[in-house]
Amino acid sequence: MKICNMDKCERDIYRNNDKCILHCIKNDYQKDRHSGLLSSFYNEFINYTIEQVFKHRELLDDKYSKDEIASYLKNSKFDKNKYNESLKKSIFIPSFIHFPKRDGRDTFDYLKILNLFGQICFNCCEFYLSSLDLENVECFFQDCKFHDRWTLYDYGVLKKEYNVIYQICEFYETVSNYIPEEQKKLATYNYSQFEYTCKFHKNIEFNRVSFKDMLFNTNQYHYNENKENNEIEDIRFNSCIFEKKFILNKYKIKNFEILNSNFKSKFEFKENSLNKFEINNSNFEKIVDFFGTEFEQFKIYKSIFDDFVVFENCKFGTENKKKEEIAIFKYATFLDFINFRNSTFESGLDIENINIKEAPNFLNINIEFQNTNRETFRIIKHSFDKINNYIEANKYFVQEMKKYKEELKTKQLRGNIQEKIVFYINDYISSFAQNYFKPILWIIGFALLYCLIIYGYEQNWLYKIYPPINIYIEYFTDLLNSFAKNILPFSKFLKKGLEFISLIFYIIFSILIWQIIVSIKRNTKR
């Protein structure tokens, strides 16, 4: 017979495989059951367990012989307390085992053997089943692979193994929690689950869970050196409670969703890259840090942040500037300071319905104009006003006015004509007092026009061109000039014979000079 090609394994190969029954690839439950693989695996796994136990026979206090333990395990009743108590004190280290799917109703269910031990360290094992319900067992999974959807149970943790359950493990399907039998009860995890070296090919989903320790444990300072491994399809938390820190940094995630959840300690989510990020009806009681994270679609809805929140150096949206990529803070309540410094809103920002206790920091942000509403620009302007940064405030005052001008375009003309005229004149003359070169150019232009009019009056151009209407021109000119002569304080400065036209130009020049003064002040101090 051929021998298994697994290192240090001397078992015969299983059928047409190049590995033994313990180390060969497994199939679906029905196929493996009907082929006899499951029963054969169970029998060989008992032999393997006996070998492993007596590698550490000192844990059994030398009370029992190998033959005695072998006879007890092969009997499959597991009803002797004296043996069970000794085995519970032992550590079991299965290595390179490929665990098949199982059914608790089978007499050859290997879970019965695993539950005999108090501590199990799975080393380089592979699992084809969806869960492993081990009761009162401290577990550690190192370099393991999970081929089916994997359900987490609240295992104890081996204290010497970095205080985490899964290290350098690879999950090919969705990872989720078990559902408690009582619908109102939360599933509870008392220890950290994943080290940063774990790799997830599909989703992470948790529904109604209480995490007593960190979900992703960074205390051991082990990270994936290959950044391409730091990818997760979707992460979703619904009705979860996090008692300790939540830390997940430098990952590429397609969708990240938090619903109806509560984070009682720090939430750290730095330098990640996401297609879609959404927080809905959730509370964050401590510092929240999104530093350097990139979001394509971003929305926070009906959520409360009690402590300092950091969005520094973040990027929201893409260069496509799609409306669905607008960063939205809708009914989000921030009870402490928010920092948006050096962030970019490629597709626009909507904080019209935000609730803030303190003015946020928007220093050096870059925000797309078209998809951003007027109220957002007003809030940003007000934040700079509160810290006396009038130069930055003026920039967003102009954006606010431009947005208001767009709103005026959509309103009916009746009842708004005066307001529209004022806004359009303000925009054309000085860009809402932001550009003092514009009014200077307007002054030069109107001065040249005034000179031409005076020259034309002195040369009698109008009378030469339209001689038949001279009498009417003289009449209206005298009437308007008489009116202008009575306007103080301009009367003594008016050009004789052109009093009314001079008055109009003096008013225009006064407005333009005032616009220059205001523009200079707005660009220095407001």
**Contact call for residues 180 and 154 (beta carbons, < 8 A):** no
Q: So what's the pLDDT on residue 175?
A: 97
Which of 193, 249, 191, 196 minimizes the C-alpha distance to 220?
196
Compute the distance between CA of residue 186 and CA of residue 265 in angstroms, rounded to an integer.
Answer: 19
Please state whether the predicted TM-score (pTM) of the whole model is above 0.85: no
The domain ranges of the chain are 266-410, 430-522
CA distances (Å), origin 487, targets 384, 499, 506, 512:
42, 10, 12, 20
Contact 127, 150 (CB under 8 A): yes
Distance separating alpha carbons of residues 185 and 418, to the nearest angstrom: 64
Pairing outcome for strands 150-152 and 126-127: unpaired
Q: What is the DSSP letter of 286?
A: S
CB 152 within 8 A of CB 213: no
Please give the Cα distance from 26 to 471 (Å, whole number): 111
- Which range among 29-33, 294-298, 410-414 shows the weakest confidence by mean pLDDT? 410-414
- CA separation for the pair 54, 77 (Å, rounded): 20
* The pLDDT value given to residue 420: 65
Give the pLDDT of residue 230.
Answer: 84
Q: Residue 496: which residues within 8 A CB-CB, separation 6 or more?
A: none
Nearest to 501 by CA among 442, 445, 463, 451: 451
Is 175:147 a contact under the CB 8 Å cutoff? Answer: no
Phi-psi region of 332 (alpha: psi -120 to 50; beta: other; left: phi over 0): beta
* For helices 390-410 and 417-430, angle between their N-to-C axes, nearest 10 degrees: 140
Tokens describing residue 32: 């493996």
Say what the pLDDT of residue 99 is.
96
* Mean pLDDT score, 325-339: 96
E strand intervals along 45-118: 91-92, 98-99
The pLDDT tens digits of the residues spanning 336-354 come to 999 999 999 999 999 999 9
Which positions ≥6 away from 454 have C-beta within 8 Å? 495, 498
Q: Mention every residue, 6+ apart, whose C-beta is less than 8 A from residue 259.
A: 236, 237, 238, 239, 280, 281, 282
Question: Which pLDDT belongs to residue 172?
Answer: 96
| Cα gap 381→393, rounded to integer Å | 5
Can you spell out the DSSP letters for 113-178? HHTT-SEEEEES-EE-SS----SS-EEEEES-EE-S-EEE---EE-TTTTT-SEES-EESS-EEEP
Confidence of residue 476 (pLDDT cuts 50, 70, 90): low
Q: Among 31-40, 88-97, 113-122, 516-525, which stretch is predicted with the lowest mean pLDDT?
A: 516-525
Q: Which whole number is the average pLDDT over 103-123?
A: 91
Q: Which of 137-146, 354-363, 425-434, 502-511 has the lowest mean pLDDT?
A: 425-434
128-145 per-position pLDDT tens digit: 999 999 988 999 999 999
DSSP 3-state percent helix, strand, coil across the chain (nearest 5): 35, 20, 45
Give the tens place of pLDDT for each residue, 239-285: 999 999 999 999 999 999 999 999 999 999 999 999 999 999 999 99
Question: Of the given ranges (34-48, 158-172, 209-223, 309-323), which has the lowest mean pLDDT?
Answer: 209-223
CB distance 122 to 99 below 8 Å? no
Tokens 């879970």 sit at which residue?
111
What percentage of residues in the chain have a pLDDT greater than 90?
Answer: 51
pLDDT at 407: 78
pLDDT average, residue stretch 10-34: 88
Q: What is the pLDDT of residues 490-503, one digit of tens each?
A: 666 676 767 777 77
- Provide the 8-state DSSP code for 186: P
Q: What is the pLDDT at residue 501? A: 77
Span of 60-74, 132-146, 258-272, 420-434 with lowest mean pLDDT: 420-434
For residue 67, the model assigns a pLDDT of: 80
Q: How far from 126 is each of 123, 148, 171, CA to CA, in Å? A: 9, 10, 10
Average pLDDT, the chain: 85
* Mean pLDDT for the stretch of residues 51-61: 69
86 and 60 Cβ atoms separated by less than 8 Å = yes
413 has pLDDT over 60 = no
Residue 188: what pLDDT?
94
Higher pLDDT, 486 or 517: 517
Q: What is the pLDDT of residue 526?
A: 45
- The label of the residue with tokens 């400065």 reads 493
In this structure, what are the phi and psi dihedrals at residue 267, rounded to the nearest 5 degrees? Answer: -115, 110
Predicted local confidence at residue 334, as pLDDT = 97
The rounded percent of the chain whose pLDDT value lies above 70 is 82
Q: What angle do CA 393, 398, 404 make, to 5 degrees?
A: 125
> In this predicted structure, what is the pLDDT of residue 421?
66
What does residue 467 show for φ and ψ, rounded to 5 degrees? Answer: -60, -35
